[in-house]
Chains A and B, each alone.
Chain A
């Protein structure tokens, strides 16, 4: 078996005085797509935020190994340079920061880290114009400020577009399907599927099974009250769709 990209062992974490993750174990290998499902408040987004390095959480126990490194020791920007990418549930609007400028800065940070040559403005534009087609995004968005005035769907597609530019090793999609209509959902899913490589992996966080019709996972995990209470193949998602979360959460020890 290949080396895991991500190995989470007994991760317990929360915010001051309130434990949210109560012992998570999850291992992801290259080439795999994992789905993390669960009811609201189960800790899905907290896990995504902790993996990406958002401040404000207290890790009380456990460890996270990412490509042989102690992930929790790395700053958010170092994680990104090591190939970890979080598609935000709520992408942030940043007035005044031009999208193309921002993406070029991010891309060149990665290039620098990989010891590859940085792209100048002209070359970068050629490169992003090609990538933007993948998401059926209007390339006028590239001239606008980051996410500013974007519709909900545009923001989500923009996240996947950034993923297409930065080509992460591990992409974490945090409820990328929420707020998308079926057409936008298909576009996003198609983009994600096209970005799948033998050498990378994806962790798809979602509340609903719907997205998983289009991004077909190898493994499905159900998170409830800060613990993974059930893991299985893609058929687990269908079962959840049929029976809801209750049968699992009530069965849980």
Chain B
């Protein structure tokens, strides 16, 4: 069923990358058919109960065809988050790879870092083996839309046993066009057995436009591999962000996933993690920091398919003004997945009487020798703590900022990559500091005014 008031996606045509193989073309057609059949989800759909997509009405789903990279000044590029940390970076503007804005660190030449469209031609075996495998199973309508319409994204391949040196950074920057309003970046990241990788994906926008980002990233972590991944979503306050991250973790791998949702009018992040091999240690860690009338929704599925997997989920939400938070945490423990250790915590800090949060844990346990816990809290800043700080000379506003920052810090502290953690710390602190008073902390421009609402 197609939701009323949205333009019929039936009119959409699947995109094609120049010279793409026929399996990909058929897969795109199948994905488009799948989307056409289900249409946009409504609040009657249990998975979308708390997130009404009506504000998307009137958005054109046609992909923006022009990269418009000329609109990016050097000054803007210098303000990209994490850009001071060095390492390789790939920049995508409106879903198109921009080689001239990208740079690949020399020491990583045996590692494959390229645009996905180039990889479709250049690495056909790897692409055919991995692309669509994780995200197209039980795909959300937006992931299907992405499969049908993506034009480019990143392809990262870390060979067996290779330890990637510094963190890598992928940037998806949107500069909306007058004629179209949607971008569909799609990336594929593979860390082979024993490899290690630290990688960030940042979704940003130039200007204050209303548009839709519907991104998909597939992350394949091989046996004994170690991956630290961070998604940093800080798009325009008028934009819609529908993201999917699908992860498969191999035997004895260590996976640490961070999701930072700060921007967007309405953002939804689906993270589907499958513990595919035994002995996986997985940390899922996230922070949503929203104000105004923003809505930030995280939909998590952790699938313990085999024994001895550990997954620890920590999500904190900070909600100001009339913002809304949604956290949906589903843990599946398959039959036979004994000795599973799954923990889920969702804590929310409401900074105003008008902010709301919906949190929904969902445990489906089909094995008997497991340890599964979940907990959710919704609270406000502690008056006792504020008074304690003030009684030592710290002004009210700063006391509040310190406490909000501390709440965010619980999440930030779980980032292992030190330079990354430091920069994120600074960005969050600056954001809290710049916006006065604290009850409306997030309704003003961010630290990088070129990227957001002015």
* A, B co-complexed: yes
Binding site for B on A (CB under 8 A): 52-55, 75-77, 79-81, 85-86, 88, 91-92, 94-97, 102-103, 105-106, 109-110, 113, 145-146, 162, 166
Known interface pairs A97-B402, A105-B398; A162-B410 also in contact (CB < 8 Å): no
Q: When the two chains form their complex, are residues B393 and A109 in contact, meaning their CB atoms are under 8 A apart?
A: yes
Q: When the two chains form their complex, are residues A110 and B406 in contact, meaning their CB atoms are under 8 A apart?
A: no
Q: When the two chains form their complex, are residues A88 and B402 in contact, meaning their CB atoms are under 8 A apart?
A: no
Q: When the two chains form their complex, are residues A95 and B394 in contact, meaning their CB atoms are under 8 A apart?
A: no
A96 — which chain B residues lie within 8 A by C-beta? 403, 405-407, 409-410
Q: When the two chains form their complex, are residues B385 and A92 in contact, meaning their CB atoms are under 8 A apart?
A: yes
Q: When the two chains form their complex, are residues B402 and A86 in contact, meaning their CB atoms are under 8 A apart?
A: no
B391 — which chain A residues lie within 8 A by C-beta? 52-53, 76-77, 79-80, 85-86, 88
Task: Pick 24 A–B contacts, CB within 8 A, sort by A.
Answer: A52-B391, A75-B390, A77-B391, A77-B393, A77-B394, A77-B395, A80-B392, A92-B382, A92-B387, A92-B388, A94-B385, A96-B407, A96-B410, A97-B389, A102-B392, A102-B402, A105-B394, A105-B398, A106-B389, A106-B393, A110-B393, A145-B406, A166-B392, A166-B393
Q: When the two chains form their complex, are residues A76 and B390 in contact, meaning their CB atoms are under 8 A apart?
A: yes
CB distance from B285 to the nearest CB of A (A): 15
Known: A77-B399, A92-B388, A109-B394. 10 other contacts (CB 8 A): A77-B391, A88-B391, A92-B385, A94-B385, A94-B388, A95-B410, A96-B407, A105-B394, A105-B398, A106-B389
CB distance from A124 to the nearest CB of B (A): 14
Q: When the two chains form their complex, are residues A75 and B385 in contact, meaning their CB atoms are under 8 A apart?
A: no
Q: When the two chains form their complex, are residues B393 and A92 in contact, meaning their CB atoms are under 8 A apart?
A: no
CB distance from B377 to the nearest CB of A (A): 13
Known interface pairs A96-B409, A102-B392, A106-B393; A76-B402 also in contact (CB < 8 Å): no
Query: Nearest 9 CB-CB pairs, A to B?
Result: A96-B406, A80-B393, A106-B392, A109-B393, A76-B390, A92-B388, A77-B390, A96-B409, A97-B406
A-facing residues in B362-394 (Cβ within 8 Å): 382-385, 387-394
CB distance from A63 to the nearest CB of B (A): 21
Q: How far is the CA of A162 from the CA of B382 in the complex (A)?
A: 21
Q: How far is the CA of A80 from the CA of B389 in the complex (A)?
A: 10
> Is B396 at the interface (CB under 8 A from chain A)?
yes
B403 — which chain A residues lie within 8 A by C-beta? 94, 96-97
Binding site for A on B (CB under 8 A): 382-385, 387-396, 398-399, 402-403, 405-407, 409-410
A91 — which chain B residues lie within 8 A by C-beta? 388
A81 — which chain B residues lie within 8 A by C-beta? 393
Q: How far is the CA of A88 from the CA of B406 in the complex (A)?
A: 22
A55 — which chain B residues lie within 8 A by C-beta? 383, 387
B396 — which chain A residues lie within 8 A by C-beta? 75, 77
B406 — which chain A residues lie within 8 A by C-beta? 94-97, 145
User: Closest residue to B399 on the A side, CB-wise?
Assistant: A77
Q: How far is the CA of A81 from the CA of B402 in the complex (A)?
A: 19
A106 — which chain B residues lie within 8 A by C-beta? 389, 392-394
A102 — which chain B residues lie within 8 A by C-beta? 389, 392, 394, 402
Q: How far is the CA of A31 from the CA of B389 in the complex (A)?
A: 27
Q: When the two chains form their complex, are residues A109 and B388 in contact, meaning their CB atoms are under 8 A apart?
A: no
Q: How far is the CA of A101 from the CA of B347 in the complex (A)?
A: 24
Q: When the two chains form their complex, are residues A54 and B387 in contact, meaning their CB atoms are under 8 A apart?
A: yes
B388 — which chain A residues lie within 8 A by C-beta? 88, 91-92, 94, 146
B402 — which chain A residues lie within 8 A by C-beta? 97, 102, 105
B384 — which chain A residues lie within 8 A by C-beta? 92
A146 — which chain B residues lie within 8 A by C-beta? 388
Q: How far is the CA of A94 from the CA of B389 in the complex (A)?
A: 9
Known interface pairs A94-B388, A97-B402; A113-B410 also in contact (CB < 8 Å): no
The residue from A53, A110, A145, A166 contacting B390, defined by CB atoms under 8 A apart:
A53
User: Closest residue to A83 on the B side, CB-wise?
Assistant: B393
Q: When the two chains form their complex, are residues A162 and B392 in contact, meaning their CB atoms are under 8 A apart?
A: yes
Q: How far is the CA of A110 from the CA of B390 in the complex (A)?
A: 12
Q: How far is the CA of A201 from the CA of B391 in the complex (A)?
A: 18
Q: How far is the CA of A55 from the CA of B399 in the complex (A)?
A: 15
User: Closest residue to A111 on the B side, CB-wise?
Assistant: B393
CB distance from A88 to the nearest CB of B (A): 7
User: Closest residue to A79 on the B side, CB-wise?
Assistant: B391
CB distance from B332 to the nearest CB of A (A): 31
B409 — which chain A residues lie within 8 A by C-beta? 96
A103 — which chain B residues lie within 8 A by C-beta? 392
Q: How far is the CA of A184 from the CA of B299 in the complex (A)?
A: 51
